[in-house]
Amino acid sequence: VMSTALLRRFPTFDQILPVFAVIAFLAYGRSIYIFLFKLPAWLTFLTVGEILSVLAYGLVVNLLESLLILVCLLAICISLPVRWFRDVFVPRGTWLALASLLSILVYFRRYASLGPDYLSALPIWSLTTLGLAALAAFLGGRIRFLRAAASALADRMTIFLFLFIPASLISLAVVIVRNIF
């Protein structure tokens, strides 16, 4: 009885998948961009097998990272009232993921250019991100245009899972084989 009540607090798979697609698009997109940026230099001193191994490890990390972020969103979902988050999981989850992950990407970009001194800005940056992400999630579930935009974006991102998931599963097999043998 307790587990049934807990399961009813979760969104459906049809609601989870588009939000996962948004998360995965940002995570994989960042890694693919960095991989392609570094590829010309790697071609000078790494073999093709080593380069593909680097890609495989990156894809596995992206899969785990995306799943961890999704689990965090699901934890938020089951801890909040059903009407507030589960019933509008796609728009609120999408806006929360977008605001949070884009903020992290911007922070790391600024950190890369300004160096370790920028670490002092992390607490303020984190609190600001938390507030803006909560605001984006709140408005994203309330304003019809933002709900529609998030749902449309999330639905369109789902197509990328047909590339990311198989590539990640193949990469996971490669990583397991490389570490066992």
Helix or strand run (H / E) with residue 153: helix 144-157
Note the pLDDT tens digit of each residue in 106-133. 988 888 888 787 788 889 999 999 999 9
Q: Among 85, 99, 100, which residue's Cα sits nearest to residue 142?
A: 85
Mean pLDDT is lowest, of 39-53, 55-69, 107-121, 130-144, for 107-121
3-state secondary structure of 37: helix
Mean pLDDT is lowest, of 78-87, 101-110, 137-146, for 78-87
Predicted pLDDT of residue 23: 98
CA atoms within a 13 Å half-sphere pointing along the CA-CB vector of 14: 1
